[in-house]
């Protein structure tokens, strides 16, 4: 039931957008009664947050290959693969076009990014433990340096977004980490 409802929410979000999404519409599409949804989610916002979190985060497995470069490459390639599907692009469009108008959706978006970066942090902390990266590397800073060029291409430049984009993002993020400019508490922190 849960999976069906979350998938219905994603489909509604993609087709009608956040502003027009209703619990009734999601229930109809999922083939459940709306009271079933209200037993599991407080309201449409909570449902959307869960659905987006599922789509944007859980789709990206956290790799543990034993080396930072291949871990980051797997992470970046998963991100590219997720965001360049038709559903991924549709969701990005929904989030971008509606989040700017709807404060709650902006909060959801922010929470999703926080969650995504937190989930991937072990990739960086393990690399630090293995001595592959400077000890004071800030995991969130490195992961943002990895994600930024991929999202920048997706949203702004219109250039192709593919495995080469992912691999290039890894090179830039690792170069910055090795140069010590992604350190926690340093001049570039925050």
Q: Which helix (H) or strand (E) holds 132?
A: none
**For a second copy, which residue of 82, 109, 124, 129 counts as binding (CB under 8 A)?**
109
Q: Which two three-digit tokens encode residue 92?
A: 């990005």
Shortest spacing between CB 149 and a second copy, in angstroms = 4
The b-or-e profile of 62-84 (16+ CB within 10 A means b, else e) is: ebeeeebeebbbbbbbbbbbbbb
Shortest spacing between CB 28 and a second copy, in angstroms = 26
Cα separation, 126 vs 108, whole angstroms? 29
Q: Are the CB atoms for 47 and 32 separated by under 8 Å? A: no
- CB of 28 or CB of 134, closer to a second copy: 134
Touching a second copy, residues 116-175 (CB under 8 A): 144-145, 147-149, 151-152, 155-160, 164, 167-168, 171-172, 175
**For a second copy, which residue of 53, 97, 122, 128 counts as binding (CB under 8 A)?**
97
SS3 content of the chain, % helix, strand, coil (to 5): 70, 0, 25
Shortest spacing between CB 187 and a second copy, in angstroms = 8
- CB of 41 or CB of 56, closer to a second copy: 56
Q: Which two three-digit tokens encode residue 87?
A: 């559903």
- Rule CB under 8 A: say whether 103 interacts with a second copy: no
**27 φ/ψ sector (left φ>0, alpha ψ -120 to 50, else beta):** alpha
- CB of 58 or CB of 164, closer to a second copy: 164
- CB of 41 or CB of 141, closer to a second copy: 141
Which DSSP letter does residue 53 get? H
End-to-end CA gap in the chain: 40
Candidate ranges 2-10, 23-31, 97-105, 120-128; the one touching a second copy (CB under 8 A): 97-105
Site for a second copy, rule CB under 8 A: 93, 96-98, 100-101, 106, 109-110, 113, 144-145, 147-149, 151-152, 155-160, 164, 167-168, 171-172, 175-176, 178-179, 181-182, 187-188, 190
């Amino acid at each position: 039931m849960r999976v069906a409802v979350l998938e219905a929410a994603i489909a509604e979000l993609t087709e009608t957008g956040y502003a027009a999404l209703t619990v009734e519409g999601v229930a109809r599409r999922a083939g459940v009664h709306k009271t079933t949804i209200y037993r599991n989610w407080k309201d449409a916002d909570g449902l959307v947050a869960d659905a987006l979190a599922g789509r944007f985060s859980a789709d990206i497995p956290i790799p543990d290959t034993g080396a930072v470069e291949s871990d980051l490459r797997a992470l970046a390639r998963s991100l590219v693969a997720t965001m360049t599907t038709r559903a991924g692009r549709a969701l990005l469009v929904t989030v971008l076009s509606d989040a700017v108008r709807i404060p709650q959706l902006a909060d959801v978006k922010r929470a999703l990014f926080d969650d995504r970066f937190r989930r991937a942090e072990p990739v960086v902390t393990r690399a630090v433990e293995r001595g592959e990266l400077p000890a004071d590397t800030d995991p969130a800073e490195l992961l943002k340096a990895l994600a930024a060029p991929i999202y920048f291409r997706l949203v702004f430049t219109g250039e192709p977004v593919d495995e080469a984009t992912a691999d290039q993002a890894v090179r830039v993020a690792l170069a910055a980490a090795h140069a010590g400019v992604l350190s926690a508490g340093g001049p570039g922190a925050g």
